[in-house]
Amino acid sequence: MADRQDLKKIRNIGIAAHIDAGKTTLTERVLYYTGKSHKIGEVHDGTATMDWMVQEQERGITITSAATTCYWKDAIINIIDTPGHVDFTVEVERSLRILDGMVAVFCAVAGVQPQSETVWRQANKYGVPRLAFVNKMDRVGANYERVIGMLRDNLGAKPVMMNYPIGTEDQFKGIIDILNTKEFHFGDDAGTEIVETDIDPSRKALFEKLRTELVEAAAEGSDALLETYMETGTLSQDQVIEGIRKQTIAGSIIPAYCGTAFKNKGVQALLDGVVAFLPSPIDIPAVVGKKPHSEETETREPDPAAPMSGLVFKVQTDPFVGRLTYVRLYSGTLVPGTYVENTTQDTRERISRILLMHANTRSELKDAHAGQIIGVIGLKKARTGDTLTVENNPILLESIEFPEPVIFVAIEPKTKSDQDKLSQALEKLGDEDPTFHFRTDPETGQTIISGMGELHLEIIVDRLMREFGVQANIGKPQVAYKESISKKAEAEGKFIRQTGGRGQYGHVILKIEPIERGKGIEFVNKVVGGRIPKEYIPSVEKGVREAFQTGIIAGYPMVDVLVTLLDGSYHNVDSSDIAFQIAGSYAVKDAVKKAGPVILEPMMAVEVEAPENKMGDVISDINSRRGKIESIDPLANAIQQIKSEVPLSEMFGYATTLRSLTQGRGIYTMQFFRYSEVPKTIFENLIAEKS
Ligand code: GDP
């Protein structure tokens, strides 16, 4: 087994692809060849080991970020699972933050598809070095060189072929290993029988051409290599590897491999490539953060002897060990049984155990070091994006940003026992997924869950029902509108009942005024001279806040209002908490009506990339969705990028429209941008719907 302490041997990688390109199948094969998964799980049987969630198996997509450790030759490969659906771009970004290299899988028939482009650009943003694996070489219409061309033309990458197919489709019988000047011939589809030979004379000319391309690419790795190549016309094998490795890590070239994961061909060569060319944790720059509570920059070298630092990138409830926190360690050494500082939350927690997660087993570690990806047990509070450090030498790493949830559905459990199950399940799911929120609507008593997109909520509902056995009625997904006010207003609220015995008496006068977006509700008490006794002030505040939660105009929660309690009166006998709560809520409801109420809607930053000749249609479609075009810029190859701001309520079904407007060539990403006032007609419609 590999030596864990040798950082050079670690590869933290992700495998990314457009849906259906074969990411899951490839991951399975990698786990099979690396010896940790003994039975090959086929995706179509739903037995894949990585996709342990039922929904993922049925949908054939991978959603959560799980990390799996495996071994290839003397290297340790940590595979960080990256999701493939647009709704989960946050998950992709989160995994890109903590991995050092990536294998991008392309279908040999379909080539570069929209989601592979999206992930490619995200990887560019984070400077993640990549290898390309052109999968499905066995399929009718497979064309390796065409896909290589698309990498160059559509993605602006510089692919360098490391191997080349011998035959394609059902005649895909082997590969020319350009790097090692060999051929490998596959005996069967199980991938067990592989015959190594010299280059066949009939392919000599092809090989020479490919080898020259590879050596020339390697020569550009450094001035010294280029000089040697210019002088001698060649490079040694070590120099070739050095040149390719340097440039792969710098992101200037993409080593490319071909194969078929399904038929077990070409996976071993790819694994060799991961080890040879993708960076180890010490090949990438030291992590940079801040001293907590200051703007001072701090750096941590990837060294087991440096002060410990790590980033929590996933929290999962594991069926065997409970709350499991996935951590990428950037520096230092972590030992079970010790305390760590959570610099994000300013808390201190104890690490009880450290696990290495394999596909379907786990092993316990006595310690963990810089560069490792581990599962930690014992942390109760740590959340995704938190920094863990040593107490006497803390650092705060850049957190992972999560957009606000913008879409919600109502859930009504069928029985009391379903209600209990639901509450527990929501706690767990909310803990695992920071982009998912839930609350109870005080008016209807319904449970409202909110998230990033339609699919996101669909998956959560599915998990609630199956994993947690909750029986419930589910509403339609709806846009998360909010309410606010546009001007100042004052109002009085009275709740007085005097019908024999003990009565009720609450009386308040208050002022409301709009405040900056994002401030929520603020409450200030300016009552003097005990005109409302101190003990009733919190009751007034409670009533005010509750009234705002339910929404006054159209039932949406109200935000960005400052409430000032000005005056009121009380009764020695009849006043009570409840009377002041009700008075507070009456006053607010009345005040809002006079304060120019508005409804706010989530606006999305929408980026579309489409062919030049389709731009007219795409732009007029965005305009018809009440969108505002911010900019239009040309990208490579007659593709233009449009940046725009569009209300979420107009974006339902956009994927289908864009596909048909651009004959499938357009792609888009969408992210929450801000809340903004809805126009008058929509305001009136929303109110009409409510009444
Ligand atoms: P993912 O969505 O990227 O994870 O893709 P999957 O691994 O789920 O594969 C999608 C489909 O393509 C499944 O039905 C696989 O069996 C099939 N598939 C994957 N790799 C290959 C391959 O190399 N050749 C062929 N013919 N089919 C493949």
pTM score of the predicted model: 0.71
Query: Under a CB-based contact definition with an 8 Å cutoff, are residues 590 and 553 in contact?
Result: no
> How far is residue 673 from each of residues 5, 406, 435, 603, 646, measured CA to CA in Å?
43, 10, 15, 6, 9
Q: Which atom of ligand 1 is nearest to the CA of 25?
A: 7
Query: Which atom of ligand 1 lies closest to the CA of 27?
Result: 7
Atom of ligand 1 nearest to the CA of 260: 23
pLDDT of residue 88: 58
Rounded to 10°, the helix 23-33/267-277 angle is: 80
The per-residue pLDDT for 598 is: 95
Q: Whose CA is nearest to atom 17 of ligand 1?
A: 22
Q: What are the CA-CA distances from residue 459 to residues 54, 55, 88, 449, 640 (Å)?
A: 10, 7, 11, 12, 33
Q: Can you list the alpha helix ranges (DSSP code H) found in 551-668?
A: 577-594, 615-624, 654-661
CA of 58 to the centre of ligand 1 (A): 14
Show the ligand 1 pocket: residues with CB < 6 angstroms.
Answer: 17, 19-25, 43-44, 60-62, 84, 135-136, 138-139, 260-263
Mean pLDDT on 659-676: 84
In three-state form (DSSP H/G/I as H, E/B as E, the rest C), the secondary structure along 291-334 is CCCCCCEEEECCCCCCCCEEEEEEEEEECCCEEEEEEEEEECEE
Distance 22 CA to ligand 1 centre (A): 4
pLDDT of residue 538: 95
Looking up tokens 């595979």 gives 79
Strand partners, 257: 133
- Hey, what amino acid is at 537? I
Q: What is the DSSP code (8-state) at residue 453?
A: S
pLDDT computed for residue 385 by the predictor:
87
Q: How far is the CA of 502 from the centre of ligand 1 (A)?
A: 74
DSSP-derived letter for residue 36 is S
> What's the rounded Cα separation, in Å, for the pair 579 and 493?
10
The pair of structure tokens assigned to 198 is 């010299």
Kindly give the number of the ligand 1 atom that is closest to the alpha carbon of 18: 3
Could you say which DSSP state residue 338 is in? -
Q: 382-435 pLDDT, tens per residue?
A: 988 899 999 888 899 987 777 677 888 999 999 999 999 999 999 888 888 888
Cα(30) to centroid of ligand 1, in Å? Answer: 14
Cα 639 from Cα 654, distance rounded (Å): 19
DSSP state of 140: T
Distance, CA of 47 to CA of 197 (rounded, Å):
35
Most confident of 330-334, 361-365, 655-659: 330-334
Neighbours of 401 (CB within 10 A): 10
Please check the confidence at residue 467 and state whether its pLDDT lies above 60.
yes
Higher pLDDT among residues 689 and 297, named by residue: 297
Tokens of 261: 């994961």
Centre a 10 Å sphere on the Cβ of residue 470 and count the other Cβ atoms it contains.
Answer: 25
Q: What is the mean pLDDT of the chain?
A: 87
- Kindly state the tokens that stand for 134: 């052109």
d(CA 72, CA 32): 11
For a ligand 1 pocket test, name from 25, 32, 169, 186 the mutation site with the most ligand atoms within 8 angstroms of its C-beta. Answer: 25
Question: With 0-12 CB in 10 A as exposed, 13-18 as middle and 19+ as buried, what is 629?
Answer: middle
The yes-or-no verdict on residue 95 having pLDDT over 70 is: yes
End-to-end CA distance of the chain: 68
Q: How confident is the model at residue 532 (pLDDT cuts 50, 70, 90)?
A: very high
- DSSP state, 42? P
CA 284/CA 250 separation, integer angstroms: 9
**Residue 63: its pLDDT value, please?**
33
Interval 456-484 mean pLDDT? 89
Using one digit for the tens of pLDDT, what is the confidence trace for 619-637?
A: 999 999 999 999 898 876 6
- Residue (of 410, 426, 408, 437) closest to 463 by Cα position: 426
Number of the ligand 1 atom closest to the C-alpha atom of 43: 8
Nearest CA to ligand 1 atom 22: 136
Give the mutation target among 20, 47, 85 for probing the ligand 1 site: most ligand atoms within 8 A of CB.
Answer: 20
Give 455 Cα–ligand 1 centroid separation in angstroms.
Answer: 22
Ligand 1 midpoint to CA 1 (Å): 31
Asked if residue 114 lies in contact with residue 144, where contact means CB atoms within 8 angstroms, the answer is no
Q: How far is the CA of 262 from the centre of ligand 1 (A)?
A: 6
pLDDT tens-digit profile of 218-252?
Answer: 999 999 999 999 999 999 999 999 999 999 999 99
Mutate to test the pocket of ligand 1, among 92, 262, 263, 265 (most ligand atoms within 8 A of CB): 262
Amino acid at 307: P
Assign 688 a pLDDT band (cuts: 50, 70, 90).
confident
Q: What is the spatial distance between Cα 157 and Cα 247, in angstroms, rounded to a whole number?
A: 12
pLDDT band for position 83 (cuts 50, 70, 90) = low
Ligand 1 centroid from CA 21, angstroms: 6
State the distance from the centre of ligand 1 to the C-alpha of 26, rounded, in angstroms. Answer: 8
Query: pLDDT at residue 18 above 80?
Result: no
Q: What DSSP designation does 265 have?
A: B
Could you report the per-residue pLDDT of 182-224, keeping only the tens digit for each?
A: 999 998 776 678 899 999 999 999 999 999 999 999 999 999 9
Residue % of the chain over a pLDDT of 90: 57
- Give residue 27 CA to ligand 1 midpoint distance, Å: 11
- Specify which residues 106 forms β-bridges with: 134
Provide the greatest CA pair distance for the chain: 110
Across 654-682, average pLDDT: 86
Give per-residue pLDDT as tens, 559-592.
999 999 999 999 988 999 999 999 999 999 999 9
Phi, psi of 648 (to 5 degrees): -60, -35
Instruction: Quote the DSSP letter at residue 675.
Output: E
Report which ligand 1 atom has the smallest distance to the Cα of 19. Answer: 2
Atom of ligand 1 nearest to the CA of 261: 23
How does 471-510 read in b/e, with b if 16+ C-beta sit within 10 Å? ebeeeebebbbbbbbeeebbbbbbbeeeeeeeebbbbbbb
Higher pLDDT, 638 or 276: 276
CA distances from 299 to 45, 285, 606 (A): 47, 10, 35
Q: Are 128 and 100 in contact (CB under 8 A)?
A: yes
Distance from the CA of 78 to the center of ligand 1, in angstroms? 22
Using CA atoms, how far apart are residues 178 and 174, in angstroms rounded to an integer? 13
Distance between CA atoms of 25 and 6, rounded to whole angstroms? 30
CA-closest residue to ligand 1 atom 24: 136
